[in-house]
């Protein structure tokens, strides 16, 4: 095994983080509106609006993971059953499978990050009850798998936690399978204080028991936590590190950016409560939904700016950007290096210039608690070479261009040596 530092770490000493990877998309939130929602909201039209968007029924849940546990339960996931998913994935997804008592089975991704139809077919057995599609980075999935699963009595769970604004053949991701999942967590396309949704046919949902509701105080706690992070990021964006930031770090109020992925590996699968969303949370998310178009447009413009820049130099340096196909709305601006070591070196270079990057993901089969589900052939060829760059508003096109330029400067350096 390679030295730990270079295999999995975020840059070791990012001196000053100017552009956090998840900047304040909650700019879509008004504090006044949020405060009112938190204490007085008793109903919202969020479910109704989402039902219109998907032309299906919607149950709003306390989190995306809760919606996933529900979808899995409805698909028959339990002891003795198997669920197929990609290992290049968010731990929440495998945790939901484990929470149901089913066995996770990893299938490969294609180079375009869609789940491999041929590998999923190979991994399916008579115990397989569901396949989870995760639209990695916001990309589309291969529709062939849906037809195949249907013909073989396997449920498709269309997990659009990362792809809420991606459209495939005229349908928003989340609406493609038997069950769909949305998440309103802070790192997701509609970055909010958390929450989720389950999408399924109205007839089906009508027959199910109503879930118990989460407590208002949980929503208030999530809102406070979100706002604390927002303030932290605002501090970090300043040109000179603030003395106060140092004090906050000392007292543990700011998460240290020096923490490595290895140090924060989960020690046990997380278990979530499966609850109905509180109207306060609904009201906050509904308000953001009404403002989101502008943010989506600005994000797409920034992606386009980066695309132009990276495309010009692709043949010179071999650094490729994962570019959106028709209808895709990317949740990450991700570049692929020709060599594995470059990801680490480039993220350190960028950190020194105040640009935080993110390595998503560490394949689940390499995380010790999930290793028992690994099979030898499951090596994902991309994961050691991908690096995500910040691009979402409030970053401007100019700043996105600068970030792209900084990556290219690194590549130029690299080529000279
Ligand atoms: C984040 C995520 C989830 C879980 O959503 P939460 O709202 O954080 O519980 C599920 N699936 C995928 C693909 C995700 O990225």
Tens-place pLDDT, residues 334-367: 999 998 878 888 888 887 787 878 888 888 988 8
d(CA 330, CA 114): 14
Identify the residues whose C-beta falls under 6 Å from ligand 1.
Answer: 63-65, 68, 90, 92-93, 134, 159, 161-162, 183, 185, 194, 196
Atom index in ligand 1 nearest the CA of residue 194 equals: 7
Cα-to-centroid distance, 391 and ligand 1 (Å)? 20
Probe residue for ligand 1, chosen from 66, 83, 90, 191 as the CB with the greatest number of ligand atoms within 8 Å: 90
In the block, which residue shows the tokens 């770090």? 249
157 has pLDDT over 70: yes
pLDDT level of residue 3 (50, 70, 90 thresholds) = very low
- Where would I find the beta strands (DSSP E) of 227-359? 320-321, 333-336
> 0.85 exceeded by the pTM?
yes
CA 84 to mean position of chain CA atoms: 19
pLDDT level of residue 45 (50, 70, 90 thresholds) = very high
Look up residue 16 and give its two tokens. 């000053």
Domain 31-206 has CATH 3.40.50.261: no
Atom index in ligand 1 nearest the CA of residue 134 equals: 13
Give nearest CA residue, ligand 1 atom 14.
161
Probe residue for ligand 1, chosen from 97, 185, 285 as the CB with the greatest number of ligand atoms within 8 Å: 185
Q: List Cα–Cα distances, 220 to 184, 192, 214, in angstroms.
A: 15, 13, 11
Give nearest CA residue, ligand 1 atom 2.
161
DSSP SS3 for 391: coil
Nearest to 181 by CA among 192, 191, 195: 195
**Residue 346: in which H helix or E strand, if any?**
helix 341-352
18 has pLDDT over 70: no
In the block, which residue shows the tokens 């995380």? 367
Q: Domain 14-23+291-416: give its CATH code.
A: 3.90.1150.10
Residues in the chain, total: 417
Give nearest CA residue, ligand 1 atom 6.
64
Cα-to-centroid distance, 394 and ligand 1 (Å)? 23
d(CA 327, CA 95): 30
Look up residue 380 and give its two tokens. 């994902």
The answer to which of 28-37, 213-222, 358-367, 402-411 has the lowest mean pLDDT is 28-37
Look up residue 172 and give its two tokens. 């928003």
Look up residue 148 and give its two tokens. 């195949």
Cα-to-centroid distance, 95 and ligand 1 (Å)? 10
d(CA 68, CA 179): 9
Alpha helices in 160-242 (DSSP H): 202-206, 216-237
Tens-place pLDDT, residues 273-293: 999 999 999 999 999 998 888
CA 78 to mean position of chain CA atoms: 25
Q: Residue ranges per domain, the chain?
A: 14-23+291-416, 31-206
Yes or no: say if 278 and 214 are a contact pair by the CB < 8 Å rule: yes
d(CA 344, CA 262): 14
Cα-to-centroid distance, 66 and ligand 1 (Å)? 9
Cα-to-centroid distance, 87 and ligand 1 (Å)? 14
Atom index in ligand 1 nearest the CA of residue 187 equals: 1
The answer to which of 117-121, 244-248, 371-375 has the lowest mean pLDDT is 244-248
Give nearest CA residue, ligand 1 atom 5.
64
The answer to which of 109-113, 143-147, 210-214, 362-366 has the lowest mean pLDDT is 362-366
Cα-to-centroid distance, 178 and ligand 1 (Å)? 18
Cα-to-centroid distance, 184 and ligand 1 (Å)? 8
Q: List Cα–Cα distances, 392 to 111, 137, 281, in angstroms.
A: 24, 13, 23
DSSP 365: G
The answer to which of 39-43, 227-231, 281-285, 331-335 has the lowest mean pLDDT is 227-231
Give nearest CA residue, ligand 1 atom 1.
161
d(CA 185, CA 197): 11
Probe residue for ligand 1, chosen from 89, 100, 159, 274 as the CB with the greatest number of ligand atoms within 8 Å: 159
């Amino acid at each position: 095994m390679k030295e730990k530092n270079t295999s999995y770490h975020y840059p070791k000493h990012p001196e000053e983080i100017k552009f956090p990877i998840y900047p304040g998309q909650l700019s879509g939130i008004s504090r006044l509106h949020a405060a009112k929602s938190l204490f007085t909201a008793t109903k919202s039209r969020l479910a109704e609006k989402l039902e219109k968007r998907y032309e299906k029924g919607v149950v709003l849940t306390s989190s995306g993971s809760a919606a996933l546990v529900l979808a899995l339960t409805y698909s028959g996931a339990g002891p003795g059953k198997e669920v197929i998913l990609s290992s290049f994935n968010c731990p929440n997804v495998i945790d939901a499978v484990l929470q149901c008592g089913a066995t996770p089975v990893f299938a490969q991704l294609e180079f375009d990050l869609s789940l491999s139809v041929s590998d999923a077919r190979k991994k399916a057995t008579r115990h397989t009850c569901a396949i989870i599609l995760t639209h990695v980075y916001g990309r589309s999935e291969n529709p062939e798998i849906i037809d195949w699963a249907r013909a073989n009595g396997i449920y498709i769970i269309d997990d659009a936690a990362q792809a809420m604004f991606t459209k495939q053949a005229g349908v928003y991701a989340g609406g493609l399978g038997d069950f769909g999942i949305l998440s309103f967590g802070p790192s997701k396309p509609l970055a909010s204080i958390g929450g989720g949704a389950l999408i399924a046919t109205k007839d089906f949902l009508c027959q199910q028991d109503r879930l118990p509701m989460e407590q208002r105080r949980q929503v208030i706690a999530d809102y406070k936590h979100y706002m604390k992070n927002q303030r932290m990021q605002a501090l970090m964006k300043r040109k000179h590190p603030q003395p106060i930031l140092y004090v906050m770090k000392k007292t543990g109020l700011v998460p240290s950016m020096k923490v490595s992925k290895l140090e924060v590996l989960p020690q046990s699968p997380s278990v979530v409560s499966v609850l109905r969303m509180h109207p306060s949370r609904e009201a906050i998310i509904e308000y953001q939904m009404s403002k989101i178009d502008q943010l989506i447009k600005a994000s797409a413009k920034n992606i386009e700016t980066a695309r132009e820049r990276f495309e010009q130099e692709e043949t010179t340096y071999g650094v490729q950007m994962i570019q959106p196909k028709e209808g895709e709305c990317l949740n990450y601006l991700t570049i692929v290096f020709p060599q594995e070591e470059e990801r680490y070196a480039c993220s350190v270079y960028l950190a020194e210039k105040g640009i935080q990057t993110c390595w998503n993901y560490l394949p689940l089969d390499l995380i010790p608690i999930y290793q028992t589900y690994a099979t030898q052939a499951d090596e994902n060829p991309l994961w050691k070479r991908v690096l995500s760059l910040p691009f979402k508003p409030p970053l401007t096109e100019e700043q996105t261009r600068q970030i792209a330029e900084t990556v290219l400067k690194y590549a130029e350096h690299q080529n000279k040596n």
